[in-house]
Amino acid sequence: MEGVAMLKQLIGQLQQLLDSSHSHSLILQPSNHTLFFQQQQQQQSRWTSFDVEDSSVDDFCGLVVTAGKSGSFRMSEPVKSPPTKKSRRDRSRGKSSGRSCSTEVMEQEIWKDFPEDLFEAVIARLPIATFFRFRSVCRKWNSMLTSQSFSQYCTQVTQANPWFYTITHENVNSGAMYDPSLKKWHHPTISTPPTKLIVLPVASAGGLVCFLDIGHRNFFVCNPLTQSFRELPARSVKVWSRVAVGMTINGNSAGSGYKILWVGCDGEYEVYDSVRNSWIRPGNMPAGMKLPLSLNFRSQAVSIDSMLYFMRSDPEGIVSYDMVTGVWKQYIIPAPLHLTDHTLAECDGQIMLVGLLTKNAATCVCIWELQKMTLLWKEVDRMPNIWCLDFYGKHVRMTCLGNKGLLMLSLRSKQMNRLVTYNIARKEWLKVPGCVVPRGRKRQWIACGTAFHPCLTAVA
């Protein structure tokens, strides 16, 4: 109460000082302890009220009146209290408001002198998704895709995460690409094969995707970003049964060429060389390889440098092929018990295994790592239990759409259709938004797909 009385006395003195200046007036009403400040300016009056009773004395201690040489008075700013920690919501709200108010305008006088040779360096470092827009800016930017210097800039930029090229049940003649960085689906228009066949993605390397028609006869290679397309020549070996396919690049980029291997269960195989544009038969399967190979066609091949790894079921293990030396090897590796829908994967040169572990009515997605010394699978992670509860009592099937460090898993049953990604290095599980075609509402069912590292300059 003494503080309030002292404050009232101070306000009274301020009122007398301002009354003598004839430019401002302060009116004090002791009954409700409210101070009104009236300022006359351009025949308009503004009133500001301070409630003494509802405010603490400390809130008014910073109110100071200073006098200038001309005899006028001004209200100085209150003394700021020590900063308090804001909540996360308030901080994010402040950042968003700051971004909206600080929109920068690109002035022509400044940017007209931007060095021409830096345009390619800047565009090569933009997010890949911007490619769909910058091609339409001008002919010069569109012609960058065939520029050797632009290709060199692109090779200097490493893409952290692969994209996924998928085929849906509803529309098998066109694909959908998923960008995990933006969590967004893209629906590009890709040149269709001249034979109008239904083709499925079976392998990828260096930004290129290899397709095989459902009759297992014709191969195609395409860059989904640039629509660079090639139909491969006919195979010399007439094997129309199901085959496993692997793909590698020569060197560090697809510009040096690429190779594609197909192998059948009977041991027949061929290698396509893009530099020669022909299929070659390097030799025969070694005598020590057990035939038939009993390949697991649900598992895509894993490529590590020049090595390709395929999964086989009888006996359980892995078959490898070196694209440089042409040497085949086999490894007997028993699979974990109660495992279904399993497929190979890789992360930083390490071979991984992902599959459904089903026991009684419980089902869970598990991740294993191959131990090089013992050639045994060691479990390293599994899907969160809260997600696995949705699988309880359901007949769930799983398809792995990508096996290059970041996995996309399609989990489906009669009552469920779910897509998730798993980052092997971070051990991070994320749900994928549903794939919906443009101007459509129905969620698409993913049939198959593969992972590829997007590259603007890769040529089929």
pLDDT of residue 404: 84
Q: Which of 81-90, 215-224, 337-346, 407-416 has the lowest mean pLDDT?
A: 81-90
Is residue 455 within 8 A of residue 223, CB to CB? The reply is yes
- Token readout for 59 is 């809130």
What is the distance between the alpha carbons of residues 162 and 260, in angstroms, rounded to a whole number? 20
Q: What is the mean pLDDT of residues 22-33?
A: 41
pLDDT of residue 302: 94
pLDDT digits (tens, 9 = 90+) for 76-124: 334 444 455 555 555 555 544 444 444 456 677 777 777 777 877 887 7
pLDDT of residue 38: 41
pLDDT of residue 260: 96
CATH topology assigned to domain 158-452:
Neuraminidase (2.120.10)
- Which residue has 């599959």 as its token pair? 355
Query: Which of the pair, 393 or 297, is modelled with greater confidence?
Result: 297
42: left (phi over 0), alpha (psi -120 to 50) or beta: left
Report the b/e string of 96-125 with b at 16+ CB within 10 A. eeeeeeeeeeeeeeeeeeeeeeeebeebbe
Query: Which of the pair, 88 or 198, is modelled with greater confidence?
Result: 198
pLDDT of residue 241: 81
Q: What is the mean pLDDT of residues 230-242?
A: 84
Residue spans per domain, the chain: 116-155, 158-452
What is the distance between the alpha carbons of residues 295 and 177, in angstroms, rounded to a whole number? 28
Query: Which of the pair, 220 or 130, is modelled with greater confidence?
Result: 220
Q: What is the mean pLDDT of residues 248-277?
A: 88
What is the distance between the alpha carbons of residues 404 and 390, in angstroms, rounded to a whole number? 27
Q: What is the mean pLDDT of residues 133-153?
A: 75
Report the b/e string of 407-434 with b at 16+ CB within 10 A. bbbbbbeeeeebbbbbebeeeebeebee
Is residue 33 within 8 A of residue 8, CB to CB? The reply is yes
Instruction: Write the CB contacts of 274 (distance below 8 Å, at least 6 apart in sequence).
Output: 221, 257, 258, 259
- Which residue has 């520029």 as its token pair? 147
Please indicate, yes or no, whether the overall pTM of this predicted structure exceeds 0.75.
no
- Token readout for 167 is 């085929």
Q: What is the mean pLDDT of residues 222-233?
A: 87
Average pLDDT along the chain: 76
Q: Minimal CA–CA distance to 449: which of 339, 311, 343?
A: 343
pLDDT digits (tens, 9 = 90+) for 410-437: 998 887 888 999 999 999 999 999 888 7
pLDDT of residue 104: 56
pLDDT digits (tens, 9 = 90+) for 35-52: 333 444 444 433 333 333
| Band of residue 318 on the pLDDT scale cut at 50, 70, 90 | very high
Torsion of CA 213, 216, 218, 222, to 10 degrees: 50
pLDDT digits (tens, 9 = 90+) for 354-371: 999 988 888 999 999 999
pLDDT digits (tens, 9 = 90+) for 52-65: 334 333 333 333 33
Distances (CA, A) of 233 to 191, 217, 280, 431: 18, 10, 11, 40
| Residue 263 scores a pLDDT above 90 | yes
